[in-house]
Structure 1
Amino acid sequence: MNLSMKYLILYVSDSKRAIHFYRDILGLPIRAEHGTYVEFETGSTILALNTRESAREITQLDIPDTSASNTFEIGFVTENVEEVIKRVREQGVTIIGEPKVKPWGQTVAYIADPDGHYIEICSPME
């Protein structure tokens, strides 16, 4: 069996607020939009959003109304972590982990999206 990750779908409470965060604050281009379902270009893996209500209708899964459980994080790689953190801070995003160089040499910082999903902003692994 050969599996490859193609996309990740985040369930959000407010699609307009989430689109503003990912498109306007993080600068991710929209790849496709179908009602409350939106896909962003992020490289080889697509990041998608959908409202919890719509996702329940489509999937028939028991998706809770609460925000993220914080049991996972999304990682974005950039050459300049400090500059990204400065830019998002200026736009009112709360920084939950300031940039730090980890023992393995990678610079890592953490923010959260409007639904509380953890987002890691990190430098490439050399």
Structure 2
Amino acid sequence: MRINYAIIFISDMQRSLVFYRDVLELPLRFESPHWSEFATEGATLALHATNVVAAPSDDRSHEHPGSCRPGFSVPDLDAFHQRMIAAHVVCVQPPKPVFGARVAQYLDPDGLVLSVGEERQGR
């Protein structure tokens, strides 16, 4: 079994489209005011606009029910990290070894943590 899609609930479609399409450079498949999709390798990432306001929390150390943490893979994590810093994306964990892989974490415009790992050689 493999993941087919991930839905991220967002507060502002235009702001999130700019982040995922222009900053992360994911290929946009479909766009609408309430639902947009990106065609990533192996799975679809969907943005779903919602009027529900989550309770504010600066505690990102624990996963909460209803939260989502998409994981992405890039061939060169250092180059990706430099591009994110240049785009003023908040980095909550600079690239570091985690369970045999290098991983960094960033925040999207709604504060969702995105994990980005470096593709392992030979895979």
The TM-score, its normalising length taken from structure 2, stands at 0.82
1:73 to partner: Cα distance = 1.5
1:68 to partner: Cα distance = 8.7
Structure 1 runs (4+) deviating above 3 angstroms are 67-70
CA shift digits 1:23-48 (9 cap, x unpaired): 00000010112332100011111000
**Where is the helix percentage greater, Structure 1 or Structure 2?**
1
2: CA distance between counterparts of 1:120 and 1:5?
A: 16
How many positions carry a matched residue from both structures? 113
Matched, 1:6 2:1: no
2: CA distance between counterparts of 1:99 and 1:23?
A: 22
Whether the 8 Å CA contact 2:6–2:70 is kept in 1: the answer is: no
Q: Which residue in 2 is equivalent to 1:52?
A: 50
The TM-score, its normalising length taken from structure 1, stands at 0.80
Larger Rg: 1
Q: Identity of paired residues, percent?
A: 29
1: CA distance between counterparts of 2:114 and 2:47?
A: 14
Matched, 1:123 2:118: yes
Equivalent position amino acid for 1:112 in 2: L
Whether the 8 Å CA contact 2:76–2:119 is kept in 1: the answer is: no
Q: Which runs of 5+ in 2 are unaligned?
A: none
1:21 to partner: Cα distance = 0.3
Structure 1 vs Structure 2 CA RMSD: 2.0
20 and 68 in structure 1: CA distance in 2 versus 1, 3 angstrom threshold: farther
Equivalent position amino acid for 1:97 in 2: Q
